[in-house]
Amino acid sequence: MSIIEVNHCDPPYFNGLNDGQRQAVLTTDGPLLVLAGAGTGKTRVLTTRLAYILQTGRAYPGQVLSVTFTNKAAQEMRHRVAGLLGQSVEGMWLGTFHSLAARMLRRCADRVGLQSNFTIIDPDDQVRLMKQLMEANHIDHKKWPAKAMIGRIDRWKDQGLMPSDVKADDAGDAAEGKLHALYHSYQARLKTINACDFGDLLLHMITILKNPQNKDILEDYHRRFKYIMVDEYQDTNVAQYLWLRLLAQGFGNICCVGDDDQSIYGWRGAEVENILRFEKDFNDAKIIRLEQNYRSTNTILSAANAVIANNEGRLGKTLFSAAGDGDKIIVRGLWDGQAEARWVAEEIEQLQIKKRSLNDIAVLIRAGFQTREFEERFIQLGVSYRVIGGPRFYERMEIRDALAYFRVVTSPQDDLALERIVNTPKRGIGGGTIQKLYAHARTHNFSLYEAIRDLTQTDHIKGKARGNLMKLIDDFERWRDHLSKMHHTELASMILDESGYLEMWQMDKSPDAAGRVENLKELVSSMADFENFGEFLEHVALVMENQDNKNADQVTIMTLHGAKGLEFPVVFLPGWEEGLFPSQRSMDENGLKGLEEERRLAYVGITRAREKAYISFAANRRMYGNWINSIPSRFVDELPQDHIETETESGMYGSGRTSHWDSSGFSSKPDVNPKDRFRVMPSSTGKSFSSKERTSRVTYQAGDRVFHESFGEGRVIHSDGRKLDIEFEEHGHKRIMDSFVEKV
């Protein structure tokens, strides 16, 4: 294939490049790190640089290795380069890490005991193979789910570790202490069936390229690839890093484009250290910073700059824009999650009045459970919305299962609900038994429930299935008897507990199990707003009617992680409270590293907004069944005062508008250094802890009459430390911190 025609004048596609972008394109030789801040045009730099290298004859298409993270990004780059050059470009090594590694491995598979026509198995096949190995080793895959064990092995592969590199102790007690041995068996079995999983594609190539006996292969790739380009370098894991370093030892012309401030996938194995140590890894490396943002106003960028500046692990850059200052960021404190959802919905309605399209608006949440209150409020007000990146709250599998239990309790004739959960969790009830039950139901015009009750009194169903079905019917009868005797939230908890459904997920070791448990707790918590089971289930049915219409004008609800790479004119960022955002779990598990990744997530959230941004937090939030007394996120403290407008609900923090918040959530003078304040950290138990207690406070007990600025007079019905349950004369039951009321 011939080299692309050389043009010694600046090509027309250079028009509009700013100084930083132009410098990044023209710096073709040696190691280069392009620190591309949010919205600074990194894709244009990558495609222009690639087109420039080809057009100036610096390399043939086949001499360039260009690596992306998704097939979509690779296709877009190929299309753009062709557009810039005015002709299609064939022969480039352009693709994802896995696709390029697979292409290499097919050429030298024999070096790791495979044939060139090896099969690449998918995650389902991985789990199936692991189950077979666990059964052969008499390991209970119910206690140690095969999917979770594969997850552990995948993480080792992401770190570039073959079975021989892993110590037996590294696996702990997983798979009854046999996970290390299972890894050996798993890899051996894959070779026997001439197969690889996705992790093997890179791992095998690293093994080949590192082996001195394969020097010929490494030298061939060193001669072949004159230029290496990598997108989203901050998201690379250890294996990807090792593979790139081995290939870059040839010509040394490696260009990595990324943003250390947007490294938010540590939980997937991404190592921000890869980008932070670029200068140490590559001699004479050059760093070019892209800081001119083409997306947001300077007010939004200044806020993002101020927050991310608190991270120690970063190379540093400051975004700016030619778009002007724009509106200040609205920071709003509210009483609870419901009030927050009401406020967001009302603000959206006001934006609609001003002719703002709903498609322009996004609500970006930290945790999946937050979607529920926004979904329900939007439905009540008729605000159309879509949930991106996952099902709506009531459409999630675990929620549908729980609702099926509740439906059968209230309506035994609900065959669809009963069939859904009759063998969930496993009760030894197979398809044949279900068919027998349905045949009996049709013959006698019974419901499935009645058929079970009838047939279990005969010998038509035998063994374990019969006993478990009899117990299930007895449980439903007992739960139904409690409908009029027990509060429906307590009954819901009892059903999920006694049915074994909650325990099923608590014992599940799969990565998403913990989130499912949290969603179940959130479901029970949400029921408190309704009088009984029936009213709640009717509400859910109405919520489920709100179906997606992809062509409709709709607000987008999605997680902060899912929003990376996207932008919206208007962004709402709710739930900025300690323990929720930053996530307590992330900080508990990863310490300072976890906190800094959470702060990068805040930076990503702010920089999704083009024109307007709203940040909110709640003084009280019901999380997974517990009321949590919340304080504003430390990220709220880090927002620059000149670029935000702060508001709180009347009486919440002493006034309707405040200039700042102290660690206990009360207004404070702006000259107080946030680092000098103590912080209250919400725990998963719903209790709060602080490094020093507030002194000289009034104590309350049941029966005390109190006054609240917003809710008026009421009576304390329960005191739990500083948290008071109060029945207000005009506003009903509220849970409030003692600092917000005074004795009458």
Element (H, E) at 545: none
CA-CA distance, 291 to 303, in Å (whole number)?
A: 15
- Token pair of 472 as six digits: 């299930």
List beta partners, residue 571: 362, 613
8 A C-beta contact, residue 33 and residue 278: yes
**What does the H/E/C string look like for 569-590?**
EEEEECCCECECCCEHHHHHHH
| Residue 132 exposed, middle or buried by CB count within 10 Å (0-12, 13-18, 19+) | middle
In our burial notation (b when 16+ CB lie closer than 10 A, e otherwise), range 85-101 reads beeebeebbbbbbbebb
Peptide bond before residue 511 is cis, with ω within 30 degrees of 0: no
Three-class SS state of 500: coil
Q: How far is CA 196 from the centre of its chain?
A: 28
Site of tokens 């999605």 = 558
Which whole-number Å values give the CA distances from 416 to 254, 313, 413, 489, 504, in the listed order? 58, 53, 9, 23, 21
Most distant pair of Cα atoms in the chain: their distance: 91
Distance of CA 259 to the CA centre of its chain: 19
Question: Which amino acid is it at 73?
Answer: A
- Pairing label, strands 119-120, 568-573: unpaired
Of the CA atoms within 13 Å of residue 452, those in its CB half-sphere come to 25
Element spanning 492, H or E = helix 488-498
Q: Where are the alpha helices (DSSP H) in 295-414?
A: 298-308, 337-353, 371-381, 397-410
Length of the chain: 744
Closest by CA to 586, choosing from 363, 256, 266, is 266
Give the containing element (helix H, strand E) for 169.
none
Q: At what angle do helices 397-410 and 533-544 cross, to 10 degrees?
A: 140
The two structure tokens encoding residue 471: 């117990």
Between 97-108 and 238-247, two packed helices, what is the crossing angle to 10 degrees? 60
| Cis-peptide into 574, omega within 30 deg | no
Residues serving a catalytic function are 42-43, 231-232, 262, 608
- According to DSSP, the residues that pair with 230 across neighbouring strands are 67, 256
Helices assigned H by DSSP within 411-462: 415-421, 431-444, 448-455
Cα three-residue angle 502-506-511, rounded to 5 degrees? 125
| Residue 35 φ/ψ, nearest 5 degrees | -85, 100
Q: Is residue 119 classed as helix, strand or coil in its secondary structure? A: strand
CA 650 – CA 661 distance, rounded (Å): 15
In the chain, the amino acid numbered 47 is T
Phi, psi of 707 (to 5 degrees): -125, 135
